[in-house]
Amino acid sequence: MALIGSRLRSVQTRILCGRGRSTARASPFSNTAFWRTRGFCSSPATWAPAKPAVLPNQVFTLYFAPGSTEISPYAQDVLSLAVNLLNDFPNTVAVIEGHTDSIGDLAANKAISESRAAAAKNHLVHKGIAPARLSTVAMGTEKPLERNDTSQGRSRNRRVVIRVVASTRG
């Protein structure tokens, strides 16, 4: 399918930009200058879509077992996506928020959320992201996604949220 699309684009370019066989009759498409000013007569290297200049905010979420700070294989896959994005956009920073459910002591939950955020940060640093681009915040039980009165709600609240945003540093 890609081959058909590229050949079609090639034929369209030859017709619109005057690079094909000339025909005796005039066509509404024969005004080459019109098509060149609109980018149709550019080289194939410029046909690929450009990377956006401004990155929209991106959010990655990792989930954890109760009382655990261990990065699961699923979480490693999510972190790989974050690493790719941070590498593709070097003018971005990441804020890493650690969260817990409401089971247990508040101080212990704060410490667990801090350890979860630090584990995610360490993983990103190990994959080559500069530590200066990463900041961690221990939220504890302060911002639950769901109510903590069900096991499903508590499992959604045991998480690390990585927010990738454009850097405000000059």
Question: Where does the pLDDT of residue 57 fall: very low under 50, low under 70, confident under 90, or very high at 90 and above?
Answer: confident
Q: Is the pTM of this model over 0.85?
A: no
Lay out the sheet containing 92-99: strands in order across.
Answer: 58-63, 159-166, 92-99, 134-140
Would the pLDDT of 45 be above 80? no
CATH T-level fold of 58-166: 60s Ribosomal Protein L30; Chain: A; (3.30.1330)
Question: Where does the pLDDT of residue 167 fall: very low under 50, low under 70, confident under 90, or very high at 90 and above?
Answer: confident
Per-residue pLDDT reduced to its tens digit, 108-159: 999 999 999 999 999 999 999 999 999 999 999 899 989 989 999 999 999 9
Per-residue pLDDT reduced to its tens digit, 78-99: 999 999 999 999 889 999 999 9
Domain range list for the chain? 2-46, 58-166
Stronger pLDDT, 46 or 61, i.e. the higher one? 61
Cα distances (Å, whole numbers) of residue 31 to 22, 40, 46: 13, 12, 21
Taking the C-alpha atoms of residue 152 and residue 42, their distance in angstroms, rounded to an integer, is 54
Question: Where does the pLDDT of residue 71 fall: very low under 50, low under 70, confident under 90, or very high at 90 and above?
Answer: very high
Would the pLDDT of 4 be above 50? no
